[in-house]
A and B are shown apart, each in its own frame.
Chain A
Amino acid sequence: AQSVAQPEDQVNVAEGNPLTVKCTYSVSGNPYLFWYVQYPNRGLQFLLKYITGDNLVKGSYGFEAEFNKSQTSFHLKKPSALVSDSALYFCAVRDSSADRGSTLGRLYFGRGTQLTVWP
C-alpha cells in the first residue's frame, strides 16, 4: 500500500533561519514524490518533484528537497525562511508500480504541515 507520513502538524521557525518540513513515504515500486503548498482558502500550488536522477531537487521560491531512498524520506528545505513562506505544506507520492486502472495517476497525500515563520 502507498502512504505518506508528515510527522509534524506544525513547524515554527524564525525568519532568516533554515527550515525543514519532514516527509517519509511507503510504496512498493519506484516513488514519484511531490511537494505542494497551500495558502488559506486557495488550491494547492506545485513546488517541486522527484522522479529520477539527482537526489537533490530544486523548486519554486527557493525550496529544495532531498530524496533519500534508504530512509524513504523526501524532506523539504529552505536555507533562509521568509514570513511569506507561512502556509500549509503537503507531501505526496505516486507509486509507478500501482499506476493502473482506477489508481492511474492517483496521488497519495500526507496530512499536511503548517509552517509558521515569525518575524
Chain B
Amino acid sequence: GAVVSQHPSRVICKSGTSVKIECRSLDFQATTMFWYRQFPKKSLMLMATSNEGSKATYEQGVEKDKFLINHASLTLSTLTVTSAHPEDSSFYICSATVGSVRASYNEQFFGPGTRLTVL
C-alpha cells in the first residue's frame, strides 16, 4: 500500500518555541493531505485539509495562526505549531489520499504520527 511518513516521530520542546512536523507521501503524489490531532484514548480530530499550492482549510475552532500548514509540493505538507504551550501536547497524525481526492472511494493512508510534548 501507499506509504506516508512523518518526521519527527517524537519531539519535546519548551513552552514558547515553535515546532515543525513534516508529512511526506513516499511513493505517490498527494494533492490533498489531512492533519489530525488525537488526545489520549480519544478519536481523531480533523484540524485542517491541506491542498498543494493553496491555503489550507481549517476546521472550526482551530487557530490558523497557531497551527500553520504549508503544502509546498505534491509529496510534502508541514504543520508548524507556533509558540507552543503545554496544552498543545498531543499526538498529531497526517494522512493522504492516493490519486485524486475527488475519487471518493479512495482510502486515506496515515502517517505514523508525531508525539509532541511541550514542557
> Taking CB as reference atom, which chain B residue is nearest A102?
B57
Number of residues in B with C-beta < 8 Å to the partner? 28
Is A14 among interface residues, defined by CB-CB distance under 8 A? no
Is A34 among interface residues, defined by CB-CB distance under 8 A? yes
> Taking CB as reference atom, which chain B residue is nearest A94?
B104
**Contact surface of B with A, Cβ cutoff 8 Å:** 1, 4, 6, 32, 34, 41-44, 46, 49, 57, 91, 93, 95, 97, 101-102, 104-105, 107-113, 115
Segment of A15-23, A65-73, A78-86, A107-115 engaged in the interface with chain B: A107-115
Q: How far is the CB of A111 from chain B (nearest CB, A)?
A: 4
Q: Is the CB of A36 within 8 A of B110?
A: yes
Q: How large is the interface on A (under 10, 10 to 19, 20 to 34, 35 or more residues)?
A: 20 to 34
A34 to B106, CA, bound (A): 10
Is A46 among interface residues, defined by CB-CB distance under 8 A? yes
